Chain A
Amino acid sequence: MSETSTPTTRNESEKPTIIEIRNFDFAYGDSQALFDINMDIKEKEVTAFIGPSGCGKSTFLRCFNRMNDLIDIAKIKGGEIKISDVNIYDKDVDVIELRKHVGMVFQKSNPFPKSIYDNIAYGLRIQGVKKKSALDEVVEECLRGAALWDEVKDRLNESALGMSGGQQQRLCIARALAVKPKILLMDEPCSALDPIATAKVEELIHQLKKEYTIVIVTHNMQQAARVSDKTAFFYIGKLIEFSKTDDIFMNPKDPQTEAYISGRFG
């Protein structure tokens, strides 16, 4: 996978911005978690967030589909996040529509205790799609999209919990694809996986990049280097450095970034 660590830079300037973050401040109760973050995330690129534990990168990711709404004390202090030029924290934004647009894959793979088929079909069923043929089509499409079809096509009606950890995580990705999002958020998707399963997920990320904008949080710097086009380094709630992955890893501008990626802390 070494050839993929060099992101395609030639048409980078042509890619439009899909997520635009301006002066974003975020707090849990009285303790501020994110300070004044500015960032442009380009369409159909992989953007990686790295940083030590507790630096706010997961919190930041969960702001993109307003998952933080579930936490009572979470509060936006200032600034805005625009997705496709719409401020997603506007009052007239329907969170449900937003989440259909911005899919998410969690750190701990969380397939529902249902069959593989039902897991994929879930996103459509809750939208009221009942037609078997339509569901069949989407299930196959998504499983193929997540490179899982050949492994599970004979046991679609078996419980998703009988799959291996890596398969479960790819199932969660497939499930997220079923609602046809534009953006896919991944919160440390490989942290519980072995190297082979991780390689498969990374491979999948490369394929998905053609159609989806992907934002991935990772603890693993090699992974960031392997899969991402851009990398953002966070430290104690602040965005320290954000640029092309090559630049960050080859010649970081900030001394803190350099210290982190060279393994001196974190």
Chain B
Amino acid sequence: MSAKKATHAFSKRPSRQKSFETFIAGFYRVATYLVIIAAGYIFINIAWNGSKAVFTTKAPFINIAFLTQKPQTLHVYEPKEIYNELKSINAQIVSTKAKSKALGSGEKEQIAMFKADVEALEERYEMLDEERKEGRLMYSDSEYRKLDESPSEELYAYNNYAYSGGGIGPAIVGTCLLVAGSIAIALTLGVLCAVYLSEYSRPGRMLQAIRLSIMNLSGVPSIVFGLFGFGMFVLFFGWGVSMIAGWFTLAIMALPVIITASEESMRAIPKGFREGSLALGASKWTSIRTNVLPYALPGILTSSIMGIARVAGETAPIMFTAAFALRDQLPWEGLKEPTDFFFQGVMALPYHIYVVSAKIPQNEYTRNMQYGAAFVFLFIVGFFALSSIVLRVKIRKKYKW
């Protein structure tokens, strides 16, 4: 059809199929960019707001108190004059808005006048608010108790806000302990199971059924795991709300991912390595230990740590099994016997985020805690993911085929 323009056999000719392909490619590109934008927005938002809590302008630039202290009640003293004026302005704004709403749609002039009033009031409010922020005194619980005398009640209006002062130290420690323990349990159980499934079991209906049920397990909602852990470990085994109950609950939740990934990594090892070592007189286990597991290890570790990191972010499974909303002592403090270490509840970041976001009255001070905790949590999860990648690269270099 466009033969008249074609100068040689391979010159470009437009066709419907080509334009369709361009369209499809553009479509994929847009979808990808949308995902990247969404992810970027989430990360930047959390990082930006969270860094306000985690970093400071003065050396050492990291808010060590936030990372180490326990969550505390925040005691706030605000200059009384400004506080009262702000209150009255607020009341005026509310009443003006109510009046404006009561008017019919015909009285446009009046409405415009009210609107201007509200704007002026809001401007004034913001100005005063800045002043209030400069003039206020804030004490966390521990600081508050050390005060020789509290600021005079005549000059300052007093309020206190639970969970808004101090830091998230115990939650960080608790999360790290929970992750470490559940990695140990899940890796041991998962790898043992995967070795059996990929190396020892005989293929057949039974094996397929087992695989299917393991895969199904990964589709079970996390709250169900939480309830299972509560029923099994907390109540039936009588461990109470404790770290060890949380370890097992998280580990069981991560198992499907670990088993599937480990099995796949092991099956990706060439048959020749197994046969080669068996032919040299290795027993089956020796052959697996020396010639399958080491080479499968990078794959196993990467996917397992990623799986655990994801599971560690869940609130539901630890909510009933391991997490305390507030605990004054760090896990190694005040132990009567060494075994008590395992049977104590801990604070955990995901649950702490849930508590400060949903369980307490919201105010301007909790916001800082929420974002700070979320930011630190993201950082920890990122650290685990990164370490798994580094580990993989290192081991992969050692064993390459």
Q: Which residues of A contact B (CB under 8 A)?
A: 65, 67, 70, 72, 96-97, 99-100, 103-104, 106, 108, 110-114, 122-123, 126-127, 159, 161, 172, 175-176, 178-179
| Chain B positions within 8 Å of A122 at CB level | 277, 280, 290
Q: Is the CB of A110 within 8 A of B280?
A: no
Among the interface residues B270, B274, B278, B281, which one has the most CB atoms of the partner chain A within 10 A? B281
Q: Does B344 contact A (CB under 8 A)?
A: no
Q: Is the CB of B279 within 8 A of A126?
A: no
Contact code string B267-293 (vs A, CB < 8 Å = 1, else 0): 000101111111111110010001100
Q: Is the CB of B400 within 8 A of A99?
A: no
| Chain B positions within 8 Å of A65 at CB level | 279
Interface of B is mostly: helix
| Chain A positions within 8 Å of B283 at CB level | 96
Among the interface residues A70, A113, A122, A179, which one has the most CB atoms of the partner chain B within 10 A? A113
B37 to chain A, nearest CB (A): 42
With an 8 Å Cβ cutoff, the count of chain B residues facing the other chain is: 22
Q: Is the CB of B400 within 8 A of A113?
A: yes
| Chain A positions within 8 Å of B399 at CB level | 113-114
CA distance A103 to B283 in the complex (A): 14
B131 to chain A, nearest CB (A): 70
Q: Is the CB of B281 within 8 A of A67?
A: no
Q: Is the CB of B275 within 8 A of A67?
A: yes
Given contacts A65-B279, A114-B399, 9 further A-B contacts (CB under 8 A): A70-B275, A97-B281, A110-B272, A110-B273, A112-B273, A126-B277, A161-B400, A172-B276, A176-B280
Q: Is the CB of B277 within 8 A of A179?
A: no
Within 8 A of A (CB), among B232-281: 270, 272-281
- With A112-B291, A113-B295, A159-B400 known to touch, is A179 a contact of B280 (CB < 8 Å)? yes
CA distance A99 to B400 in the complex (A): 27
| Chain A positions within 8 Å of B276 at CB level | 106, 110-112, 172, 175
- With A122-B290, A161-B401 known to touch, is A100 a contact of B281 (CB < 8 Å)? yes
Q: Is the CB of B282 within 8 A of A96?
A: yes
Q: Is the CB of A70 within 8 A of B278?
A: yes
| Chain A positions within 8 Å of B401 at CB level | 113, 161
| Chain B positions within 8 Å of A106 at CB level | 272, 275-276, 279
- With A72-B203, A113-B401, A159-B400 known to touch, is A123 a contact of B273 (CB < 8 Å)? no
Within 8 A of A (CB), among B273-328: 273-283, 286, 290-291, 295
CA distance A99 to B295 in the complex (A): 24
Q: Does B5 contact A (CB under 8 A)?
A: no
Q: Does B202 contact A (CB under 8 A)?
A: yes
Q: Closest residue of chain A to B274, judged by CB?
A: A70
| Chain A positions within 8 Å of B273 at CB level | 110, 112
| Chain A positions within 8 Å of B278 at CB level | 67, 70, 99
| Chain B positions within 8 Å of A176 at CB level | 279-280
A73 to chain B, nearest CB (A): 10
Among the interface residues A112, A127, A175, A176, which one has the most CB atoms of the partner chain B within 10 A? A112
| Chain B positions within 8 Å of A127 at CB level | 281
CA distance A218 to B276 in the complex (A): 19
| Chain B positions within 8 Å of A175 at CB level | 276, 280
| Chain A positions within 8 Å of B282 at CB level | 96, 126
CA distance A7 to B279 in the complex (A): 29
Which of B274, B280, B290 interacts with A99 by CB under 8 Å?
Answer: B280
| Chain B positions within 8 Å of A96 at CB level | 281-283
A161 to chain B, nearest CB (A): 6
CA distance A255 to B270 in the complex (A): 41
Q: Is the CB of A126 within 8 A of B400?
A: no
Supply 7 A–B pairs (Cβ within 8 Å), ascending by A. A106-B276, A112-B273, A113-B295, A113-B399, A122-B277, A123-B280, A126-B282
Q: Is the CB of B281 within 8 A of A123?
A: yes
